[in-house]
Amino acid sequence: MPREKISLIEIYGSASKKLLIRRELSIQDLNINLMSFLQNLGLPIASSCQGEGICRLCIVNESVISCGISVKDLPFDKKGVRKVSIGYL
Ligand code: FES
C-alpha cells in the first residue's frame, strides 16, 4: 500500500519576511475555514464582519479572502505544501 503523502502548510509574515508556522495538516484541518484555522493557531487575523465576506480585512496571499475558503482550497506545490502569507505580520 503506498504511503499517504503528508500535507503541510507554511505561514509567512510578509512584513517580517519570516516563516511563522510550518505544520502538518490533518484531514480535519483541510475542511476548516481558512480564517478560523489561522485564528485557531493564534494568528491575529483581522476581521470586522466576522466572516461575512464584507470587510476584506482577512485577506491573505495578497487577494484571497480567508473567511471565504477552506484550507483545502489553497493551492499546493508538488511536495504538498500549501502557503499562506499575511501582509501585516
Ligand atoms: S472577515 Fe470580513 S471579509 Fe473576511
* pLDDT tens-digit series, residues 18-68: 999 999 999 999 999 999 999 999 999 999 999 999 999 999 999 999 999
CA 48/CA 77 separation, integer angstroms: 32
- How many domains are contained in the chain? 1
- Any atom of ligand 1 within 6 Å of the Cβ of 46: no
Grid cell 470587510 is found at: 55
**How many angstroms does the Cα of residue 74 sit away from the middle of ligand 1?**
17
Is 71 within the bounds of a domain? yes
Is 1 within the bounds of a domain? no
**How many angstroms does the Cα of residue 19 sit away from the middle of ligand 1?**
24
Is 31 within the bounds of a domain? yes
Is 52 within the bounds of a domain? yes
CATH code for the domain of 76: 3.10.20
Site to substitute for ligand 1 among 34, 36, 38, 52, most atoms within 8 A of C-beta: 52
Is 37 within the bounds of a domain? yes
Residue span of the structural domain in which 66 resides: 7-86
Classify 34 as helix, strand or coil.
helix
Classify 76 as helix, strand or coil.
strand
Q: Is the pTM of this model over 0.95?
A: no
